[in-house]
Structures are given as C-alpha cells and as structure tokens.
Amino acid sequence: MTAKVGVSVIPAAIQFGLLAFCVLILVDAPRTESQILPADIKSTVGFIFGKAHVKDQSGVTHEIEMPLGTGFFIGWLDKRGGADWGYTYFVTAKHVLRDADNRFLKKVKIRLNLLTQQGERNFDYIEIPVTDDLENLVWFQDPDDLSDEAIAFPIAPDRKRFNYKVIPNDWIVTDQLLKEQQVAEGDSVVFIGLMAQFYGAKQNFPVVRKGSIALLTDELLPTPNGPQHGYVCEVASWPGNSGSPVFLYLGGLRRNTLSNVGFRLLGIVISYYNNSHTGETTETATVSFNDPTNIGLAFVLPAAQITKILSAPFVQQLRDKFTDEHNKEKR
C-alpha cells in the first residue's frame, strides 16, 4: 500500500527524518544570457542507483545494483529565514523508484560529483529512503492524485563536499509564462540525464539531448499511467532518462520580439512513445498494433506539478516549523 506523506500511517520518526533534511541552501542560478547551454546546468542532476530484481534468460531472478534513472535539485526560496534562505528538494519520476514487480524499493542512492577528487574517483553516493517499514512512500507526492509521476524528497547534500546546483523554483514554467512568451510547437527544449550505457567511471557524465516541442494540447495524452496532461517533445528518450529535467529555451528573437528570459524548467521526462497504436476495422472491432520501436517522441510532465506538490499544506507546514525554529535560534 502506498500512502500520502503526512497521513497518520507515516511514523513520527519518518516525519522527523524528512524535516531534518530541510536545511539552509544558497540557490545558484545558471546563466541565461544566450542559447549556449549554461555549463552549471548539468550540475543540477544526479544519477539514481538501487538494487533491482531482474530475471535472466532462464527465468532466475537476481538482485543487481544498477542505474535506475535521473533526478534533479529544486531550490525553494523562503526569505522569512533570510535573503538567501531556502529549501532543497530532489525530484524524479515515481516509476524510477519501483522494482520489477512494481513495488517501491526500500532505498536508493544518489550519485553526485565531488568538489575534490578522492582516490580514483570524483563521485560518491548519498543513500536515501524510499519507503518506511510498512512500505509507505516517504517522498512527497501529489496529495490529490497518487498516480501522478512527480515526487520530491527534501535533502541538501553537503555543499563543501558535493558539486551540485539547484534550479530556483521561479524557473518553473507556468501557464502564464507559456501565454506571455507565445510558446508553440517548434520551440527549443533540452534535457539532461543519465545514459545507462555510459555514465562515467570516475565522475558523472550526463548526456544532453536537444529537440523541440512537438505537440501542445489541452486534451489528455496517453501515458503508461493512463491519460494525463503534459507535453509531447521531439527528444529521443531511453531507459535511464526518466526523471530528467526538460528545459525550455526562451531567449533570442521570439515572435519578432527580443527576449532575455533564457532557459526555464518545462517539465520532467516520464516516458517515450513507441509505434504501438490501435485502429478500428470496418466491422468496428478494435485492432492493436504492438510495435515497440521508439518513435523519438517523449511525454514530459509539466514542471508546474512540482509546484503543486511542494505547495501542499503538509509540505508548507514542515517549512513553517523549520523556519520558525531557525529564526528562534538567530535571536
């Protein structure tokens, strides 16, 4: 059973553990002066590893430590604690944390680059929980729709040890921004994520894939979790890319107007579309065509969903409590 974070079935110790990760963070925003991808933007992602169970050709199940997907850091500014005060969350797609039997893993590890090399490698892991002893998900999720794929975990890795950046929450694309900037099919997007075939022996090497928005619609789009609102983008995604941040480029000459908005967080890579589809025969029977070929289009969940999760009353109450404690300590 999967429960919402904050309901009564979540042990108090789990709630305290989540709260303790909400610490002071300085938000470093990547540069946006040109369409050249800011170098710092690649440091916003971390690679997610875990022990998954897979079957070999003979049907025997093995537990394997393997790369599962991508996540990224969001910085939530809260000036009640000071000009540079805020909270850091690690965001990914929910299915990245599931095992082959669709149950959530007990824990995963985030692989991040280090500021200074240690021995032969320039990365290390941070282990974080996924579920409690009752198999309840301890990450923040949509309190109104548990099938939604966006999830977030409050964590701020040691900035003196790990080399990472956070995406400011005011980078999140809103419906208002889409309207103001007249965003349409053909606008440029880029995502940054894990390539499972090679992610670096000595440090993390994210892949960068560029493309464009292929389809904007107010209708629900088909996804593995059922019809959902989102964007279809022409960026070829593969296993390992799930959870990657997708950035929309809004700089340069747009609709005959020079824009300096730059990059903004459009959404999260959730899945790719294959060539499977259905059709109706002349006898009104439904026929399915199951071609697994990747057609080069990805479903991107709107980043506004992250705002919904992190604005939920329970999450805001945690920030309120921690900020109050912080301000009392300053007095």
Query: How does pLDDT run across 108-145, given as a tens digit for each residue?
Result: 999 999 998 777 889 999 999 999 999 999 999 998 88
Mean pLDDT of 4-17: 32
Q: Distance between CA atoms of 170 and 79, rounded to whole angstroms?
A: 13
Between 122 and 3, where is the model more confident? 122
b vs e for 233-260, b when ≥16 Cβ sit within 10 Å of the residue's Cβ? bbbebbebbbbbbbbbbbbeebeeeeee
Mean pLDDT of 296-323: 92
Q: How many CB atoms lie within 10 A of CB 113?
A: 22
For residue 205, pLDDT beyond 90: yes
Quote the mean pLDDT of the chain: 81
| Highest mean pLDDT, choosing among 77-86, 204-213, 215-224 | 204-213
DSSP strand pairing (107-118 vs 86-93): unpaired
For residue 17, pLDDT beyond 60: no
For residue 258, pLDDT beyond 80: no
Q: How many CB atoms lie within 10 A of CB 155?
A: 19
DSSP strand pairing (61-77 vs 167-168): parallel
* Contacting residues for 118 by C-beta, under 8 A, at least 6 apart: 124
Q: What is the pLDDT of residue 24?
A: 34
Q: What is the pLDDT of residue 282?
A: 54
Mean pLDDT of 97-111: 94
For residue 47, pLDDT beyond 90: yes
* Contacting residues for 186 by C-beta, under 8 A, at least 6 apart: 212, 213
Between 19 and 313, where is the model more confident? 313
b vs e for 183-195, b when ≥16 Cβ sit within 10 Å of the residue's Cβ? beeebbbbbbbbb
For residue 160, pLDDT beyond 50: yes
Per DSSP, what are the bridge partners of residue 251? Answer: 260
